[in-house]
Amino acid sequence: MKNNIFLVIILILVYNFPAYTQTILQSENDLVARNNINKEFPVIFSVPDEVTIINIHDQSSGLISDLVTSAIEGLYEIHYMAIITTAAKNASLLNFKVQYTDTDIEKVVIIPSDNIEGYNSTSSNIAGESIITGSLLIYAVEGSVISYVVGYTSNPETESDSENAMKYSLRVAVEKL
């Protein structure tokens, strides 16, 4: 008997969910207007306007590359993760930053402004354990370029000893919100 009542309650909720969702969100005009793909579920099942994914393996140098070449003005969420896959013979340093033109000040900004150990930077030199990961929110100017910068320093035993240099993998995902 308890199972039947529970099932009836679930069916009522599922059947009426679109109506409740639509009623709640109609007062939030910006949320309803944001997504024209599915008007019954404008927030819960939204699809990002733009997605970029970067996946690089066994890199042994710094990088500067574009994530978005011509931004639509608005808020972007950037997720990143880098892991040292081969430790350097002596020491290494790896950091990640994003460069973009901010809407409010209309100047190029690099964030984070400082290297923060374990967040966007690591000086640990242990393969598989040296990881940097984080998320950033930015508000970019229309038509601007959003880039990432990977700072890289590796101290192998000798300058020409590329086998003992640090290597890393990088994954970056960008969403236009």
Tell me, what CATH number does 122's domain have? 2.60.120
Task: Kindly state whether residues 81 and 126 are assigned to the same domain.
Answer: yes
DSSP letter for each residue of 104-122: TT-SEEEESSS--BTTTEE
Query: In this structure, is residue 42 part of a structural domain?
Result: no
- Evaluate if residue 20 carries a pLDDT over 80: no
For 75-113, the pLDDT digits (tens) are 999 999 999 999 888 888 999 999 999 999 999 999 998
Task: Kindly state whether residues 58 and 26 are assigned to the same domain.
Answer: no
Q: Quickly state the pLDDT bin for 161 (edges 50, 70, 90).
A: low
Among 22-31, 41-50, 168-177, the range scoring the smallest mean pLDDT is: 22-31
Query: In this structure, is residue 45 part of a structural domain?
Result: no
Query: In this structure, is residue 132 part of a structural domain?
Result: yes
Average pLDDT, the chain: 77
Query: In this structure, is residue 41 part of a structural domain?
Result: no
- Number of folded domains that form the chain: 2
Dihedral sign for Cα atoms in the order 42, 46, 78, 83: positive
Query: In this structure, is residue 26 part of a structural domain?
Result: yes
- 152 strand-pairing partners: 94
pLDDT for the residue numbered 28: 43
For 103-146, the pLDDT digits (tens) are 999 999 999 988 888 788 888 888 888 899 999 999 999 999 99
Domain span at 18: 2-34
Contact 146, 66 (CB under 8 A): yes
Query: In this structure, is residue 40 part of a structural domain?
Result: no
Percent of the chain at pLDDT > 90 equals: 47
The span from the CA of 18 to the CA of 42, in Å, is: 10
The span from the CA of 90 to the CA of 111, in Å, is: 29
Task: Kindly state whether residues 121 and 171 are assigned to the same domain.
Answer: yes
3-class secondary structure, 30: helix
Query: In this structure, is residue 9 part of a structural domain?
Result: yes
Alpha carbon separation from 74 to 71, 99, 141, 146, 166 (Å, rounded): 8, 15, 7, 12, 36
pLDDT for the residue numbered 159: 61
pLDDT for the residue numbered 56: 95
Task: Kindly state whether residues 104 and 142 are assigned to the same domain.
Answer: yes
- Evaluate if residue 54 carries a pLDDT over 70: yes
Task: Kindly state whether residues 155 and 101 are assigned to the same domain.
Answer: yes
